[in-house]
Structure 1
Amino acid sequence: MIEFHPVTRHIGAEVTGVDLRKPLSQEQVATLRAGWLKHLVLFFRDQHIDDEQHLQFALNFGTLNHPAFKKDSGSPIHVLDQTDPKGEGGDEWHSDNTFEPTPPMGSLLRCVQLPSIGGDTCWANTYLAYESLSKPMQRLCDELTAVHDITMSMTKAISKGHPFVLEEIQAKWPPIERPVVRVHAETGRKALFVNRASTTGFVGLSPRENEALLPLLIDHIRSPEYQVRLRWRPGTMAFWDNRPTQHYAVADYTERRRMHRVTVNAFPEHQDK
């Protein structure tokens, strides 16, 4: 029987009673989806699966998302293989690819190889970040839109030696405006939807107002009470909802860390209206 064991009060649960090497029944998929929507990120321990099993598990929950700028764009499995992660972009609080016309619904990240120490990942609950704002601040955020732009993250990647052409990437993914408060398509709950990696400013606010408000909201999401931290082990899988969470890859290692990831878009019935 599938069971969920909360890791913190507000976000994260370890899952037992399921073997990811085997196909899932419709009932198991429904149970996992309900637990995922409730806990926002699920952790599966001791799941020593291969890439095909990883992919098939992911496809129970959405369709493949594969951004064109990924270096391994021919494969559905994106390999994160790092020994020098500082400044790569993962070590900032972010939601994945909010510069896309339709940002991905979620990601499933599997640990293959770890350094001897370090390499944890943290997630934050952005429902709670919104709900804990004062009512006047909530009303302000409800009315605002913000610009999301790939330029900041691509500039960092290029500075670290990745062979991207910034102008080509910018042409493919021009800046896009999004509501500052996102309404989750499945739960109807509101979540704060700005992040340090991609959000450049609020539409209609003066530069001085932007200088005050954007850092305040971004910093607010970093509050520890909204977070969970995962200490990986080989064979651990994390499956998170990208819509009401942000995550942060702790860049505290200098030995090899290899992770395999599948990112998924929502099925039509679960997409934003």
Structure 2
Amino acid sequence: MTYALPATAAPTPTDPLAYFGPIIAPRTAANMEVLPYELFSLEPQTPTIGAEISGIRLGGDLSDEVMAELRRALIEWKVLFFRDQNIERADHRAFAEAWGALEQHPFYRYTQPGQSDVDVATLAKDAAAVGAENIWHNDVTWHEFPSFAAVLRAIEIPAVGGDTLWADTGAAYDLLPDDIKARIDHLEAEHDWITSFGSGMPQDAIDTLRPNFPPVHHPVVRVIPETGRRVLFVNVAFTQRILGVSKEESNELLRLLYRHLMRPELQVRLRWKPNTIAFWDNRTCQHYASSDYYPARRVMERISIVGDKPVGLSR
């Protein structure tokens, strides 16, 4: 165990798994100008990730100026929370459409019967359909074009429990020792759905879907085009292995990165209330839905936005 001595500036951990003391990362890329928000109120929830926005109603009628500030806030804080959003499904969809094309989840027909359209999906969990999203992940990284973002609204919430957590993958990268960065900067990893969604599907469904959704390769370190920010882009739900290294080294690196991402200093936690909305950048954070409310009922409405092909560091 490494013991941190008091210091005026936070040291860079030499071993991210055997360290305690100040764990401080920059919130943004070095070249991003941090400006005040003038068209709504923004309250940070942690030093690097998560901010609550108040003073606006979500829907399709937001001005270009408000949208520009929201885009800046999303890049700066990675996940935005909006309380008391008593909106209709049409408003929910219109807000998502303002950010890009909407995404049809190809597996909803098996995991959420009757919800195969590109629309707001109702995700109901209770004693009969238990919550099983309690695993750290970026959405659909098994796709060539993983989601850009998702908009999730709480409809019915347990009296206690059912929180969601997000982890800042840019801060996680920044806090890695230089030797670990050097090892992973130019590596790629294989992502697949077969060990997650596929585990509960009938074989004929797997056979039908497999040709359209083969394993894909993405950079371990993704570069966000708007800012040049480097983020970790591997997750325990869908990443199968790191390519170009031995199985043993792949397992070692993935274990290290996953454990590093589990540090609370890299995370924000949301306690839901009805009509709370979370809107997150799927490129720059992972999320985890705490499944601690069984057999109570938890109902959410969600829609996702199509992303682009992840780009890594140039050699």
Letter in 2 for 1:255: A
* Aligned equivalent of 1:79: 122
> Comparing both structures, which one devotes a greater share of its residues to helix?
1
Q: Does 1:104 align with 2:104?
A: no
Does the residue aligned with 2:179 lie in a helix, a strand or coil?
Answer: helix
| Distance in 2 (alpha carbons) for counterparts of 1:135 and 1:252 | 37
Q: Superposition pairs for residues 11-90 of structure 1, below 5 Å?
A: 11-21=49-59, 23-71=61-109, 72-84=115-127, 88=132, 90=133
* Aligned equivalent of 1:259: 300
Gaps of 5+ in 1: none
> What is the TM-score with the length of structure 2 in the denominator?
0.80
Query: 118, 135, 153: which is aligned to 2:178?
Result: 135
Q: Superposition pairs for residues 183-262 of structure 1, below 5 Å?
A: 183-253=223-293, 254-262=295-303
Contact 2:220 2:233 in 1 (8 A): yes
| Distance in 2 (alpha carbons) for counterparts of 1:3 and 1:87 | 33
Cα deviation per residue 1:30-78 (whole Å; 9 max; x = unaligned)?
1111111100000000001110010011111121011222221124112
Gaps of 5+ in 2: 1-38, 110-114
* Aligned equivalent of 1:8: 46
Does the residue aligned with 2:139 lie in a helix, a strand or coil?
Answer: coil
* Aligned equivalent of 2:24: none
Contact 1:150 1:170 in 2 (8 A): no
Does the residue aligned with 2:196 lie in a helix, a strand or coil?
Answer: helix
Q: Which protein shows a greater Rg?
A: 2
> What is the TM-score with the length of structure 1 in the denominator?
0.92
| Distance in 2 (alpha carbons) for counterparts of 1:135 and 1:29 | 37
Cα deviation per residue 1:106-164 (whole Å; 9 max; x = unaligned)?
00000011112110000000001111110011011112110001111113444xxx898
Moved over 3 A (4+): 84-87, 155-158, 270-273
Letter in 1 for 2:305: V
Higher relative contact order (CA 8 A, sep 6+): 1
Aligned length: 266
Q: Once the 2 structures are TM-superposed, how far is the Cα of residue 214 of structure 1 from its aligned partner? A: 1.4
